[in-house]
Structure 1
Amino acid sequence: MRFGVYLLVLLLANGELTTIYGQDGAAKNPKNTEPESLLQALRAPDSLKTLDKANIASELWEFYQSSSPEQLHLLSSATLRSGDSALFRTYNRRVLDLPINQTTAYAKGVAHWDLADFLKRSLPDSAFYHYQKAYGIFTEIPLEDTATHYPGVVLLDIANLKNGIKDYFGAERDQVEAINYFETTQRTDRLFNAYNSLAITQKDLNRFDKSLAYHQKAKSFISKSQKSKQALHAFINANNMASVYLSKKEYHTAFIQFDSLVNEKSFLQTKTLRYAKLLASRGYAGYLSGALSKEEALIDLRTSNQILDSIENNYAKARNYEYLARIWAKEGDTINSIAAASQAKSIAQTTQNNERLLSSLQFLTLMDKEHSTAHAKDYFRLAKEIAQKESDIQEKFALIRMETDDVIANNAKLKKRNELYAGLVLAIIVAGLGVVTIVVQRIKNQKLLFKQKQQESNQEIYKLLLSQKEKLEEGKKSEQKRMSEELHDGILGQMLGIRLIMSGLNDRTDEDSIQQRAGLIDKLQEVEEEIRTISHELNEASYGKVDNFMRSIQELIDNTKTASKDISIAFDHSEDFNWDGLPSETKINSYRIIQEGLSNCIKHSNCKNISVGFHSEKKNLTLTITDDGIGFNSKANKTGIGFKNIHSRTKKLSGLLHITSLPSKGTQIKVTFKKPSETSIVYPQTSKQPA
């Protein structure tokens, strides 16, 4: 970037080095200052040569395009104010040719707005098109707080354009829409301009009272305007109200307001277009109201013309000469009146001021009797041309508006369709999620129900085991009671009888007593044998292994055999392992695996023989269920509920499941899992006590 070089040349040329550097010579944020200073140079019409401006514009384009494309509109606006139309069209076109996206949309909107301002006098229909494009962009994108008023301001520009072609009703609609927009967006600082514009339209429609009412409304919003603009807005408001009074032929009221404004020296500069027009209006209104003499009025008009000559503005002089013509006419000086009107006509023709040209021709038709026919023909010809031109432009406006409305309608339809599609997609997604949720919930419910059923089954098995244990305890107690009765009623009775008899024989030594004692000793030996027999029975009952878990499995197998009479079922298990020492969870899952395996064999295998084995092998326990049925391809997916249940039970045992099967070769289900540590106690099958 050569910002530094251009900036230094610019500042040295204009003697403005202090605008960049402070008193100590230190730079103040040059990154932000350099582009802004170059933009200021472009905005000043005569500050630089055309070549220098082109070079600066090129540098700024590269800068903004690479770092801040959203600010490219600054270059378009600066070149518009530069007065170099070719430079403006070049960079305005570059901005308009950018692809529209989130970054460039704002810049393109401002570029359309700039181009509309550039074309509004020469090509009002093209200007209308670009105003419409700018408005469409500004209403579609989010705007920063400093730009929220843009849509309303563009509407007012469109209204002013319509006023120029006498489409007053169209202008009125746009102005009302702008007012509503400013009120909705709470941009009350812009309502003065909106009501002022609406008041001017009412004046053009000869609705003078409405115009004054809207000017009063505008006046109430001056205090809401930016402070720097409040004095200007107050002047504009008073001047426009005075103009309405002048059109309404309330000359005295108009003169008072014009005179008050002329005497407001603190605001007006005497060498400006505004002051020149104000002097002419005061002189004309003062003369018609009688507040000023002819000479005083002529002084105001001549002074006004001198100011206009000094600022090289001929356009406004046509009105001044028409005012002079009317003053001379009222004075009865036809020659001077016709001369002034002819001068007004000539200036109006030169400056293409058609409105003033028509009023001058109309005045000459009445005053210049000798040439009234020619003036009348010129008047009607021009009026027809203007009317036709305005009609053509109005039709173009309508066509552009219609096409714009069609585009907006199509965009709205497209947006609505996209929203519909998005809604349908969202509905499908929601429905899909709903279906998935329902399915997942049903699966969860089924799993929960399955777990509940498993729990119920586990409780049944546990109750069965408890029942077996209770029966065993009941049998033991019954046997103990029988032994107790045997000892009490039999052996103890015999021993008591022997003791009593032997007590009577202790002191006797005869042969009979000796034989009786020998017989009693034999009797005692019989009692001893009986006691030994009872002792052995008690020992076997106490130490003999009674396996409730294996008995439960045997009962399951017996019940299965009873239900399936044509199938033989064998059960084999390790005898030297404490099966009842297994945890309840292990027993229940093992029992269920056997139950499910037997069920599958009977239902699906068409087998004749089933073998169930449950063995202790070092650190593992192995459960096998084998049949000689039709078999199946074990490599295929096993999706049946039975296999899933067996797999689930094996997983709970932290074991391994291995299924071996071939068609016509039978099936073997093998489950292997580690022994729980508390099952290491081994009881012998029998333990006989020594005699």
Structure 2
Amino acid sequence: MRFKSKIYIPILLLTAVILLVFYNRRIELKIRNQNQNTFDTEYFNKISGTEKERYLDSLVSDLKYQKNDSAVRNLYLKAGEEYYYLNNIKKSHSSSLTALKLSREENDSSRIAKSLYFIGDCYESTQKDSAYYFYLQAQKIYLKIHDYSKLGQMYFNKAYVLFYDGNYVECEVELTKGLEYLKDSNNIKLLYSCNTLMGNCLEKLFMYDQALKYHQLALRNLKAMKKNNTDSDEVNNFNISSVINICNLYDLKGDYSKSIMELKPLLTKDLRKNWPRFYAIVLSNLAYSKMKNKEYKNVESMFLESLKIVDSLGYTSDVMYKKIHLGEFYLTQKDSLKSLKTLQEAYTVSIKLKNTNETLNTLKLLTRIDSRKRLFYANQYIAISDSINSIQSRTKNKYARIEYETVKVEDENKVLTKKNFYILIFSFALFLALSAISVAIYLKYKNKELRFVKQQQSDSDEIYQLLSEQQNKINAAKEEEKNKIAKELHDGVMNKVYGVRMNLGFFNSKTDEKTIEKRKQYIFELQNIENEIRTISHDLNQDSFLESNDFNTLLSNLIKSQNEISKTEFNYFVDERFEWEQVQNIYKINFYRIIQEALLNIHKYAKALKVDVKIDLIDKDVLQLSIIDDGAGFDINTAKRGIGLSNIKERTNSLKGNFEVKSKPGEGTEIIVTFTI
């Protein structure tokens, strides 16, 4: 038996090797026997993932020796697309780059744009700014060739990058442009994606009613997809996602009963069997809505069941969300031990996944439970919030900078092209002149001596005239270029340099230690203001942490700090009858932002000697903020309102308050904001 086994194993191995070689040979022959410029879709769809990659490798290898035509470029793009679906990003990127190179050689605009689009997809998960850059390049070409459906796709792709980088304001802008181009499109799936992403974006911007409108539009798109006989499983999954999104909005608006009513019908046996992760999400969301609606029956078992499902499937991020909700449930039941244990587990997972938002949420809940480590959790919360602010302040405008630098490079290329055109004209003119000289010299030796002298004089006059005209053209062109460069230097670079010099020149003339320190304070304060503006749309969630601080002290410190950065005297008065603890947090946040905006305007324009900030309680529920300065003032009937006053007015209107400005030239300005709290 031992002897037989030693013989049998090598035979099996040899047979396997022969079969493997034969199989590889069959795939190679399959590709080589077909038309070299075709892709066998039917065969490709039947084979496994490993076989598909081998098929694509052989196809790309054969394409290297083919003539660069539209069919070859299409095949490179097809290979790039299929490699991407097989999650081989490296090979997808390589095939797409080759398609881009070949398309540029033939000036094939549509395939250049498609190649850039595919390359952007390859960077989407790893380098979002690179993905954004390539989508932008593709967008410009689609706009030139009037392919509005693909143009809408590029706006969506850019918006998707911006959304997952936390840049929700610019995301909304890109989606608005994309939906404008897609309004007559037949690509219903893309319209659904745009409307869904817009709803999620507006949710992040706290515009819940508008977000609900776009999610409802997405549901209409699903009905159209059903009529077009789209894959029913895909439509069903989209429908569940949309309902979950809508119910999240109901929860945020506090309308938990609506959320419960919408989620209950989704919990079917079919969903549990075929799509367990969706089932777990719906079950957990339903439990959360019931908990918020104070319907605690079966809530714990629902949370535990959903947690068990996602844990068995290996979705770590889902496990984190479920544990946070479960910990919050135990908190409502005043079961501190279970709540603390569950939330600490959720905190550990959020740190592992580097999910800063859920880390902050978990820390906020832990500060309410664990009195012994409350200070530790609070410090962790502040540190993470500061880190997020620092990162956002550095990356906030990187996408706008990409667009600006792209346009700048294009403008520079246009200038270079124009210069090259001029050089070509001058070279051609010079060639003509030299040709004329050569002809004249040739004729000179062919004529008789007498005619030679006359002809020489005539030719010399002609040459002189040509050279004079040429010199005049050259001088005129040089003068035009000098004027253009001088204008660019004066209007562009010099204005920027002048602005910087005027801002810091006054302090540069003094070198004493006090002035240097003062200048540092100014620069630091300007940086703070810039960071404050850049992060203003994203720190509302984080401002909820203000509720653990004395808000009156925050306002007092804000106003007192103004005395340190200018010669203006700032005073703060507050009605002693008034207690900030009675005021909802949203009013505190907007009060703080309105005062910041007004103080910034005063620093920039008022030239005031004295500023009074007053908060008075009128009746029992009316709060009035007055900001009075004795500065330059302005004519409110003729002056154009800047972004500062517009922001104050928008914040006031958002809380259904009244906003009033009183000002005259030379008589100062008074801003009055009144809220019913």
Q: Distance in 2 between matches of 1:346 and 1:171?
A: 31
- Determine the structure 2 residue equivalent to 1:138: 142
- Determine the structure 1 residue equivalent to 2:292: 288
Q: Deviations over 1:46-95 (max 9, x none)?
A: 53597776445534666796743134211112112222343334334433
Q: CA deviation at 1:410?
A: 6.5
Q: CA deviation at 1:327?
A: 0.4
Q: CA deviation at 1:241?
A: 0.6
1:69 aligns with 2:73: yes
Would the aligned equivalents of 1:271 and 1:307 in 2 still touch at CA under 8 Å?
no
Distance 1:283 1:406, change over 3 A: same
- Determine the structure 1 residue equivalent to 2:124: 120
**Which letter does structure 1 place at the counterpart of 2:385?**
A
Distance 1:283 1:87, change over 3 A: same
- Determine the structure 2 residue equivalent to 1:249: 254
Q: Distance in 2 between matches of 1:311 and 1:377?
A: 35
Q: Distance in 2 between matches of 1:341 and 1:64?
A: 62
- Determine the structure 1 residue equivalent to 2:150: 150
- Determine the structure 2 residue equivalent to 1:34: 40
- Determine the structure 2 residue equivalent to 1:633: none
Q: CA deviation at 1:179?
A: 1.0
- Determine the structure 2 residue equivalent to 1:206: 206
Q: Distance in 1 between matches of 2:24 and 2:45?
A: 11
SS of match in other structure, 1:227: coil
1:86 aligns with 2:94: no
**Which letter does structure 1 place at the counterpart of 2:308?**
Q
Q: CA deviation at 1:203?
A: 0.7
- Determine the structure 2 residue equivalent to 1:325: 327
Distance 1:349 1:92, change over 3 A: farther
Q: Distance in 2 between matches of 1:192 and 1:137?
A: 24
Q: CA deviation at 1:104?
A: 4.7
Distance 1:289 1:73, change over 3 A: same
SS of match in other structure, 2:396: helix
Would the aligned equivalents of 2:37 and 2:75 in 1 still touch at CA under 8 Å?
no
Q: Distance in 2 between matches of 1:185 and 1:35?
A: 27
- Determine the structure 1 residue equivalent to 2:161: 161
- Determine the structure 2 residue equivalent to 1:385: 387
- Determine the structure 2 residue equivalent to 1:493: none
Q: Deviations over 1:643-675 (max 9, x none)?
A: xxxxxxxxxxxxxxxxxxxxxxxxxxxxxxxxx
Q: CA deviation at 1:176?
A: 0.7
Would the aligned equivalents of 2:93 and 2:122 in 1 still touch at CA under 8 Å?
no
- Determine the structure 1 residue equivalent to 2:50: 47
Selected match of 1:314 from 305, 313, 316:
316
Q: CA deviation at 1:111?
A: 3.5
Q: CA deviation at 1:172?
A: 0.8
**Which letter does structure 2 place at the counterpart of 1:252?**
S
- Determine the structure 2 residue equivalent to 1:424: none
Q: Distance in 2 between matches of 1:190 and 1:53?
A: 28
Q: Distance in 2 between matches of 1:99 and 1:30?
A: 19
Q: CA deviation at 1:222?
A: 2.9
| Structure with bigger RCO (C-alpha 8 Å, 6+ apart) | 1
SS of match in other structure, 2:40: helix
Q: Report the identity percentage.
A: 17
Distance 1:206 1:101, change over 3 A: same
- Determine the structure 2 residue equivalent to 1:580: none
SS of match in other structure, 2:166: coil
Q: Distance in 2 between matches of 1:376 and 1:307?
A: 33
Aligned pairs (5 A) from 1:204-603: 204-225=204-225, 226-228=228-230, 230-263=235-268, 265=269, 269-291=273-295, 293=297, 296-407=298-409
SS of match in other structure, 1:301: helix
Would the aligned equivalents of 1:341 and 1:364 in 2 still touch at CA under 8 Å?
yes
- Determine the structure 2 residue equivalent to 1:170: 170
Would the aligned equivalents of 1:110 and 1:134 in 2 still touch at CA under 8 Å?
yes
Q: Distance in 2 between matches of 1:318 and 1:339?
A: 13
Q: Distance in 2 between matches of 1:91 and 1:31?
A: 15
Q: Distance in 1 between matches of 2:388 and 2:78?
A: 37
Q: Distance in 2 between matches of 1:8 and 1:155?
A: 48
Q: Distance in 1 between matches of 2:81 and 2:272?
A: 28
Q: CA deviation at 1:245?
A: 0.9
**Which letter does structure 1 place at the counterpart of 2:239?**
A
The normalised TM-score by structure 1 is 0.50
Distance 1:71 1:88, change over 3 A: closer
Q: CA deviation at 1:332?
A: 0.5
**Which letter does structure 2 place at the counterpart of 1:257?**
E
Would the aligned equivalents of 1:65 and 1:72 in 2 still touch at CA under 8 Å?
no
Structure 2: runs of 5 or more not aligned: 1-18, 423-677
Would the aligned equivalents of 2:267 and 2:282 in 1 still touch at CA under 8 Å?
yes
Q: Distance in 2 between matches of 1:269 and 1:406?
A: 55
Q: CA deviation at 1:134?
A: 2.4
- Determine the structure 2 residue equivalent to 1:191: 191
**Which letter does structure 2 place at the counterpart of 1:34?**
D
Q: Distance in 2 between matches of 1:62 and 1:303?
A: 58
Q: Distance in 2 between matches of 1:135 and 1:39?
A: 31
Q: Deviations over 1:373-422 (max 9, x none)?
A: 2222222222222232233232321210112333566689999x99x99x
Q: CA deviation at 1:328?
A: 0.6
SS of match in other structure, 2:282: helix
Question: Computing the radius of gyration over CA atoms, which structure comes out larger, 1 or 2?
Answer: 1
SS of match in other structure, 1:316: helix
- Aligned residue-pair number: 393
Q: Distance in 2 between matches of 1:62 and 1:359?
A: 58
CA RMSD of aligned residues (A): 3.9
**Which letter does structure 2 place at the counterpart of 1:69?**
R
Q: CA deviation at 1:193?
A: 2.5
Q: Distance in 2 between matches of 1:157 and 1:218?
A: 17
**Which letter does structure 2 place at the counterpart of 1:370?**
R
Distance 1:325 1:216, change over 3 A: same
Q: Distance in 2 between matches of 1:177 and 1:56?
A: 39
Q: Deviations over 1:89-126 (max 9, x none)?
A: 43344334445155654444333333333333332222
Q: CA deviation at 1:186?
A: 6.4
Q: Deviations over 1:143-201 (max 9, x none)?
A: 5xxxx522212211211221223221111111110110012556566433222221111
The normalised TM-score by structure 2 is 0.51
Would the aligned equivalents of 1:270 and 1:276 in 2 still touch at CA under 8 Å?
no
Would the aligned equivalents of 1:35 and 1:60 in 2 still touch at CA under 8 Å?
no
Would the aligned equivalents of 1:345 and 1:357 in 2 still touch at CA under 8 Å?
yes
Structure 1: runs of 5 or more not aligned: 14-19, 21-26, 422-691
- Determine the structure 1 residue equivalent to 2:182: 182
